[in-house]
Amino acid sequence: MRIVLIGRSVVVSLHGNVYDSLVKYKRQRGKSGNTVAWDAGSVRSLREHIGLTQQEMAERLGVRQQTISEWETEAYKPRGASVTLLGMVAKETKFTYKAGQS
């Protein structure tokens, strides 16, 4: 799996087995201890870091705009595959999140 930032677009290219790519990413993340707790501030900061609106980010992640809004207002927190995908986007775009940032 390859995530590429092109201008204001995040492009996800799937090569080979998606499951294997996710497992590899999770192993690397676990070894480095470099994880982000995806709260409202971190989701919003990532979105602003890559220069996308809520609608644009939703389209690229395959979720509804309302979902991005709910994450950013802490109505819900990202979970499951969304957490993994957000982590992969953060890593590929060199996003760094500091606690208390919003």
Which domains does the chain carry?
Answer: 2-92 (1.10.260.40)
User: Has residue 33 got a pLDDT over 90?
Assistant: no
What percent of the chain has a predicted confidence (pLDDT) above 70?
A: 60
80: left (phi over 0), alpha (psi -120 to 50) or beta: left
pTM for this model (two decimals): 0.65
At residue 13 the predicted structure's pLDDT band, cuts being 50, 70 and 90, is very low
| 4-18, 35-49, 51-65: range with lowest mean pLDDT | 4-18
Half-sphere CA count of 34, side-chain side, radius 13 A: 14
